[in-house]
């Protein structure tokens, strides 16, 4: 979609991107920049496609070296294929819940419904044109490297299943669009879609070892049949399943894409509410209540299942693991869970972008906006790490490995003021950042969160003292958190004409 003549299909693809990715980011601050927003989505498509191409080819060397089992290879490449397609199409599918602008504009043109359906399907597919090429070419190359067709077959099944899943999501969004509550629930559920594919990539060493040869009935199942491609039944079964899934995905696409044309915002249902006004005297608690209410209705709600998924994956993948490996995996999963919690401030700030102007007209400071998020993160962090610590204890991991995880809360907490500063910056730029800036932001937050953990391991390695390691980690986390909170409070502060400090305000009648 770069350069060239602007056809109606290209314009539709841009509009789908704009509706899906950016329509919900209007902030009321500066003017939003649709050209930049659409360009960012396109850049992401090319960047992710190129990244995947490199990763899936590179991965084949490791699998060849490890002598991965056929089904293991298929599962991993199924994960890579499906994840890329879902990552590209899922945000665009939110356009189903967008506005009716496209319908209003297109129905005024002399185009029949059939032609519109075909145009929408082509526009929708153009969102994954480059990722498809990258996946198919990369997996073909990977198959050549491992000397077997499994990576290619895994990717093909991954693409087909991902497209069918997205189509199902669009139909579900479309049917839920009359109720805002159902729409919120659907969004939360749909956010779990990438997890179906991601699960095969969380612990590749485990999946690579899965050997299907002992379970011959698997050759009749989709995906698994690919592992038996050398047998006549396996080859036939694979061909039939691939063709069936491909045909189903292809034939459903036009009607799924057309649902976007009939997009409509959920309608208001006037309903009386009982009870009086629940006014909270503490501003922090009032904002915390609103944050919880909003996050429960966002895609973030689905993130709450992630630690439990990791719990199950940990229990399965550490089955029969030798003690040294078990401890190493505990640390890996524990820190991974901590990293998941940094999505909380990021998501909450993202939710607040749209209503940010309303919040800024209230007498709240940036710090008082950040504090409720700190509270929420504390609760979620200990719920997550508590569950995981129980899993570790059940597997016999000692307290020396559990304690650092429970003491490390300040590391992810630092992501809150950091996200707050980035949020301020985003608003100044009209509620939309460049791709490079978004990637840099997230990299920076990840590095900030990693610093206290890094210090813990460095001190532990240097001194051999667990206690000293934990103390250093907590101190580093506290210093980082305080410094960032201070920066947030001072961010973008221009000298005031008078002194705002001498303004004791009652807020009552003047």
**Binding residues for another protein (CB under 8 A):** 26-31, 180-181, 184, 265-273, 276-283, 285-287, 289-290, 293-294, 297-298, 351-352, 354-365, 428, 430, 492, 494, 496-500, 502-510
**CB 288 to another protein: min, Å:** 10
- Return the closest-CA partner of residue 59 out of 75, 44, 43, 45: 75
Helix (H, G, I), strand (E, B) or coil at 491: coil
**CB 376 to another protein: min, Å:** 15
**CB 40 to another protein: min, Å:** 17
3-state helix, strand, coil in the chain (%, to 5): 75, 0, 25
14: Cβ–Cβ under 8 A, 6 or more apart, which residues?
Answer: 1, 38
Q: What token pair was written down for 80?
A: 């890579």
User: Based on CB atoms, which residue is closest to another protein, 320 or 361?
Assistant: 361
**CB 361 to another protein: min, Å:** 4
- Return the closest-CA partner of residue 310 out of 401, 207, 391, 382: 391
87: Cβ–Cβ under 8 A, 6 or more apart, which residues?
Answer: 48, 194
User: Based on CB atoms, which residue is closest to another protein, 86 or 376?
Assistant: 376
User: Based on CB atoms, which residue is closest to another protein, 213 or 282?
Assistant: 282
* Rg of the Cα atoms in the chain: 25
**CB 89 to another protein: min, Å:** 23
User: Based on CB atoms, which residue is closest to another protein, 300 or 474?
Assistant: 300
**CB 219 to another protein: min, Å:** 48
**CB 297 to another protein: min, Å:** 5
**CB 268 to another protein: min, Å:** 4
Helix (H, G, I), strand (E, B) or coil at 108: coil
**CB 455 to another protein: min, Å:** 35
User: Based on CB atoms, which residue is closest to another protein, 64 or 283?
Assistant: 283
User: Based on CB atoms, which residue is closest to another protein, 320 or 499?
Assistant: 499
- Return the closest-CA partner of residue 223 out of 166, 172, 162, 167: 162
Rounded Cα gap, residues 186 and 94, in angstroms: 10
User: Based on CB atoms, which residue is closest to another protein, 31 or 322?
Assistant: 31
- Own/partner contacts of 470-476, CB < 8 Å, gap of 24 or more, are 470/403, 470/404, 470/407, 473/404, 473/407, 473/408, 473/411, 474/407, 474/408, 474/410, 476/451, 476/452
**CB 267 to another protein: min, Å:** 6
Torsion of CA 461, 464, 468, 474, to 10 degrees: 40
In 107-179, which residue ranges form alpha helices assigned H by DSSP?
Answer: 113-126, 129-146, 150-176
Phi, psi of 199 (to 5 degrees): -60, -30
User: Based on CB atoms, which residue is closest to another protein, 31 or 110?
Assistant: 31
Rounded Cα gap, residues 324 and 398, in angstroms: 12
**CB 261 to another protein: min, Å:** 21
Rounded Cα gap, residues 175 and 183, in angstroms: 9
User: Based on CB atoms, which residue is closest to another protein, 64 or 354?
Assistant: 354
**CB 170 to another protein: min, Å:** 19
Torsion of CA 354, 357, 34, 340, to 10 degrees: -40
Is residue 395 classed exposed, middle or buried when 0-12, 13-18 and 19+ CB atoms within 10 A define those classes? middle
In b/e form, how buried is each residue of 429-447, taking b as 16+ CB within 10 angstroms? bbbbbebeebeebeeebee
Q: What token pair was written down for 346?
A: 């990021």
User: Based on CB atoms, which residue is closest to another protein, 280 or 325?
Assistant: 280
User: Based on CB atoms, which residue is closest to another protein, 309 or 357?
Assistant: 357
Q: What token pair was written down for 396?
A: 């016999």
Rounded Cα gap, residues 460 and 408, in angstroms: 14
User: Based on CB atoms, which residue is closest to another protein, 101 or 250?
Assistant: 101
Is residue 125 classed exposed, middle or buried when 0-12, 13-18 and 19+ CB atoms within 10 A define those classes? middle
């Amino acid at each position: 979609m770069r350069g060239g003549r602007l056809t109606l299909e290209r314009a539709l693809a841009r509009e789908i991107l704009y509706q899906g990715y950016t329509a919900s980011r209007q902030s009321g601050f500066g003017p939003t920049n649709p050209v930049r927003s659409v360009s960012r989505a396109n850049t992401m498509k090319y960047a992710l496609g190129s990244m995947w191409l490199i990763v899936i080819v590179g991965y084949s060397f490791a699998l060849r070296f490890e002598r991965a089992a056929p089904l293991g290879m298929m599962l991993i490449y199924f994960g890579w294929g499906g994840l890329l397609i879902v990552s590209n199409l899922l945000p665009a599918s939110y356009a189903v819940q967008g506005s009716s602008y496209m319908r209003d504009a297109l129905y005024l043109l002399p185009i029949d419904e059939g032609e519109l359906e075909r145009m929408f399907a082509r526009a929708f597919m153009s969102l994954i044109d480059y990722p498809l090429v990258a996946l198919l070419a990369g997996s073909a190359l990977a198959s050549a490297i491992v000397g077997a067709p499994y990576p290619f077959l895994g990717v093909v099944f991954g693409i087909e299943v991902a497209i069918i899943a997205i189509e199902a999501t669009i139909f579900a969004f479309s049917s839920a669009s009359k109720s805002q509550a159902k729409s919120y629930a659907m969004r939360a559920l749909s956010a779990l879609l990438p997890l179906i594919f991601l699960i095969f990539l969380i612990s590749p060493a485990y999946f690579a070892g899965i050997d299907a040869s002992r379970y011959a009935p698997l050759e009749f199942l989709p995906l698994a049949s690919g592992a038996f491609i050398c047998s006549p039944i396996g080859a036939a079964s694979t061909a039939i399943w691939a063709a069936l899934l491909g045909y189903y995905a292809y034939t459903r696409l036009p009607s799924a894409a057309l649902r976007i044309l009939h997009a409509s915002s959920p309608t208001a249902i006037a309903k009386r509410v009982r009870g009086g006004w629940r006014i909270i005297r503490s501003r922090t608690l009032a904002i915390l209540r609103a944050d919880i209410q909003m996050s429960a209705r966002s895609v973030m709600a689905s993130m709450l299942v992630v630690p439990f998924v990791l719990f199950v994956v940990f229990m399965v993948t550490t089955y029969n693991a030798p003690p040294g490996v078990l401890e190493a995996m505990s640390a890996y999963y524990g820190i991974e869970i901590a990293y998941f919690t940094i999505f909380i401030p990021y998501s909450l700030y993202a939710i607040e972008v749209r209503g940010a102007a309303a919040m800024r007209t209230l007498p709240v400071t940036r710090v008082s906006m950040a504090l409720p998020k700190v509270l929420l993160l504390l609760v979620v962090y200990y719920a997550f790490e508590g569950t995981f610590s129980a899993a570790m204890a059940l597997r016999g991991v000692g307290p020396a490995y559990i304690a650092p995880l429970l003491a490390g809360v300040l590391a992810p907490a630092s992501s809150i003021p950091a996200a707050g500063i980035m949020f301020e910056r985003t608003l100044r730029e009209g509620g939309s950042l460049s791709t490079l800036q978004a990637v840099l932001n997230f990299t920076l937050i990840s590095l900030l969160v990693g610093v206290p953990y890094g210090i813990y391991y460095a001190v532990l390695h240097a001194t051999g003292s667990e206690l000293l390691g934990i103390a250093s980690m907590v101190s580093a986390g506290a210093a980082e958190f305080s410094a960032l909170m201070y920066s947030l409070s001072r961010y973008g502060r221009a000298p005031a004409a008078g002194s705002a400090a001498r303004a004791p305000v009652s807020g009552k009648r003047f």
